[in-house]
Structure 1
Amino acid sequence: MTLEFRDLTADPADLALLADFYRHYVVEFPDPDERESMANMVDYLRRKPVGWYGRNNYHIVLAIRDGVTVGCSVSDYLAEPNAGVIEFLLVTPQARRGGTGRSLVAKTERLLDNDAKTSGNGPLAHVVAEINDPRAPSDVPDNLDPVTRALIWDRWGYQGLDFPYTQPPLSSGQESVANLLLIVKSFLPDRLDPGAIQLVVHEYLRWAMRISEPDSSADYRRMVDYLRGLSEMRTLSLAAYVGVDPSQPLHVHRLTDANDPDLAALRSCYRRAFGKSPLAVPESEFERALTDVGGYHLWTLRGSEDDDVEGMVSLFGFETAGLCGYVALEGRLRGRFRALVGRIECALLRDRPTARGWYVEVGLHTDPGPFLAVGFEELDVDYRQPGVDELVRLLFKPFGRRYGPVSLPVSELRVTLAEIMDVVYHAPLAPEVLGSLDGLEFARFR
């Protein structure tokens, strides 16, 4: 079964193929704010033969197997930054796992490289693409698990660009999209710098999104302000970002009931880490939560599937946020907390895609440094666990990357803390906690 590629034109036969495939596109892009209209795609194709793009170019490539379209990519060549943009790339569910995606992205990259050479710019410098950030809240369910997608693009040689990318509205009836990650594959790495990325975004908005004056977009201006403050363009390993770093392997096993053979090892790990802590709970609470609490995660951690248990995690997922009850890393797993944070955030967002972040309770005699180093902030509240006399540090982290001060509405904080007290401790929220929040619109941090 040979896979063929068709770079569409405005020919009626090609437009008919595009119209037939557009129904897959609508399904695969459930967020209407991310979706390009069929009318715009047709218009872009019709502009090509009359020279509207100048030295730039535009491609809609269909992947066809045995007469059936099984994939599609839409891409732009931008001459000014000598870069390509893959606006979207999808493979129908029935054709996945067979190399179709890899072949399609390679074909798209070759077309963009040919555009670069035809324009007189020499070899293509970079290709960028948008993916849903697997560690960002979303109001619209994704068509593909965002972690799976990130790992696929990682295998194809792409990295995340570490800046607050936002897609401006594509039309007057659409909204900005902030839960995206701009990714890049560089063919000339020495030329990847903040100025180059700014130029790519500028031209992408201008030619693909038809924003004739990108500086008129508040979203674009915020991106520019951030990029201009960078001395270098930082990138993210997509695999490491979701906690799957080959250099720091971490095997996670989720317990589902009290008969799991890992439970004894988890209890031993918990006892070693928290047995003498005033914040410890009876070990029977783990079994109770597994049985009675929806959205509860209880994990054992290993370096690999065949290793002994060297860590444990307990997590609660609530409507607006998650709570890490306990986390312990021993032996060879020490130093792998950052990878674990990626796993935790992806897991909590799978359960509650609209949740904004997560909390952790830390005893006054426990070093909060590891949490602060990955983006947590300590809340300025008089927080106690029921039945525990001493104050407890309550830390909060928004999911994913952070580029500025944490903004946490007090109304949201009250709801989450009430849920924590009810579900975890079977107690009401203490008056002193409520009192420390009175009169505030946003939470204060120490």
Structure 2
Amino acid sequence: MRMVEVRADDDLLLTRVYRDVLLAYFPSNELESYDELRSGLEKDLRLVTAIVDEDSLPVAAAVGDWSPESGVLLLAYLAVRAEARCSGLGSLLMEEVSGGWQRRLRPLLTLAELEHPLAHQGDEVYGDPVARLRFYARCGGRALDVPYFQPSLGSGMDRVYGMLLVMLSGSADVGGRSGATIRPGPIQEFMQRYFLDTEGTVPSDRPARQMWQAMERPGGIPLLPLTDVRRLPLSALG
């Protein structure tokens, strides 16, 4: 096994990462298109790191979305093929996210989107949200106390409610290294751009209002341990 950085001009490997790792292990409403993935790479707004086997076939991959305006890096996808799970490959990818990606981009914040275990059921294909939460807790992740939902990623695609926004790392400038809260400014700018890029507007419906209001706390956005699922914020359509 070896780790490689996937480039936009490596059509074969990028296609295999998308088809065999991402498309196979993420629900359709949570996954952007192949064209969007490649376009982000071409614009230097996306990182794709893969672990390949002796035949150069991808068995695991991590995808990051970079927002230079806000200084926020989003770990959008991390997946390991079913036959290679529990072999440490996810941890190897997380080491790259917390190491090589940080040195390359110097983000203010590194975030991840995770399914809330109280809103999403696990299965053999997409994995177990409870186990996934434990994995990110071991990696030092903490949830933002914000009822987050993933925007619609394209025409005809539904939003994904019942999601968590998890901080994997944060600079001292936003209070993320050891504090109990983080400064909301970068999060707000990132989220506004995220919705503009995906839904074409900054939404103001009820779930969106609840999310924006939770980001406007004068003392900062609280960070919550991932170990107590019932304390974690839960968004819902309504």
Q: Structure 1 length normalisation: TM-score?
A: 0.46
1:28 corresponds, among 4, 25, 29, to 25
Residue 171 of structure 1 corresponds to which residue in structure 2?
154
1:229–1:138 CA distance, 2 compared to 1 (3 A): farther
Residue 401 of structure 1 corresponds to which residue in structure 2?
233
1:62 matches 2:50: yes
Residue 39 of structure 2 corresponds to which residue in structure 1?
43
Structure 1 residues 125-169: Cα deviation after superposition (integer angstroms, max 9, x where no partner):
221011110122569997111100000011111111111111111
1:138–1:169 CA distance, 2 compared to 1 (3 A): farther
1:125 corresponds, among 100, 105, 108, to 108
User: Does the aligned pair in 1 maintain the 2:48–2:61 contact within 8 Å?
Assistant: yes
Structure 1 stretches of 4+ with a deviation exceeding 3 A read 137-142, 203-206, 211-214, 216-222, 400-404
Q: Return 5+ residue gaps in structure 1 as ranges.
A: 49-56, 117-122, 242-341, 343-373, 375-399, 408-446
Letter in 1 for 2:233: R
Aligned pairs for 1:335-346 (under 5 A) are: 342=230
Residue 216 of structure 2 corresponds to which residue in structure 1?
228
Give the SS at the match of 1:73: strand
Letter in 2 for 1:6: V
User: Does the aligned pair in 2 maintain the 1:77–1:115 contact within 8 Å?
Assistant: no
Q: Distance in 1 between matches of 2:51 and 2:201?
A: 33
Relative contact order (C-alpha < 8 Å, sep 6+): which is higher?
2
Aligned pairs for 1:247-326 (under 5 A) are: none
Residue 185 of structure 2 corresponds to which residue in structure 1?
195
Q: Distance in 1 between matches of 2:121 and 2:189?
A: 28
User: Does the aligned pair in 1 maintain the 2:3–2:50 contact within 8 Å?
Assistant: yes
User: Does the aligned pair in 2 maintain the 1:28–1:90 contact within 8 Å?
Assistant: yes
State the 1:29 CA deviation: 0.8
User: Does the aligned pair in 2 maintain the 1:130–1:180 contact within 8 Å?
Assistant: yes
1:5 matches 2:7: no
State the 1:24 CA deviation: 3.0
1:240 corresponds, among 228, 232, 235, to 228
Q: Distance in 2 between matches of 1:71 and 1:403?
A: 29
Give the SS at the match of 1:113: helix
Give the SS at the match of 1:179: strand
Residue 67 of structure 2 corresponds to which residue in structure 1?
78
1:211 matches 2:211: no
Q: Distance in 1 between matches of 2:204 and 2:60?
A: 32
Task: Name the % identity.
Answer: 24
Q: Distance in 2 between matches of 1:166 and 1:86?
A: 15
Q: Which structure features the higher share of strand residues?
A: 2
Aligned-CA RMSD value:
2.9
1:94–1:170 CA distance, 2 compared to 1 (3 A): same
1:171–1:150 CA distance, 2 compared to 1 (3 A): same
User: Does the aligned pair in 2 maintain the 1:84–1:112 contact within 8 Å?
Assistant: no
State the 1:174 CA deviation: 0.7
Q: Distance in 1 between matches of 2:204 and 2:101?
A: 27
1:138–1:214 CA distance, 2 compared to 1 (3 A): farther
Give the SS at the match of 1:234: strand
